Amino acid sequence: MAQLSYEQARDELASVVATLEAGGVGLEESLKLWERGEELAAICQQWLDGARAKLEAAKSQVEAE
């Protein structure tokens, strides 16, 4: 599976959270959803970290000029 975009990961994570909050799924399914949520949160964090690094690099370049 190709890397998800930030928006795709965020939207799927929101869906996972909504499903878990709604309840009605068994323990095994809840654990699978939780694990998927952890994966999606990590993908989102990678995107945010990358964006932060780009902003910091741009800021440093502007300050150096």
Q: What is the pLDDT of residues 13-29, one digit of tens each?
A: 999 999 999 999 999 99
Tens of pLDDT along 29-39? Answer: 999 999 999 99
Query: What's the pLDDT at 65?
Result: 82
Q: How far apart are CA 29 and CA 34, in angstroms?
A: 9
Domain layout of the chain by residue ranges? 6-64
Q: Is the pLDDT assigned to residue 1 strictly greater than 60?
A: no
CA angle 11/19/31 to nearest 5° reads 105
* 6-64 is classed CATH 1.10.150: no
CA angle 9/49/33 to nearest 5° reads 30
Q: How confident is residue 2, by pLDDT bands cut at 50, 70 and 90? A: low
Q: Is the pLDDT assigned to residue 49 strictly greater than 80?
A: yes
For the chain, counts of helices (H) and of strands (E): 2, 0
The dihedrals phi and psi of 5, each to the nearest 5 degrees, come to: -70, 165
pTM over 0.85: no
Q: How far apart are CA 47 and CA 5, in angstroms?
A: 8
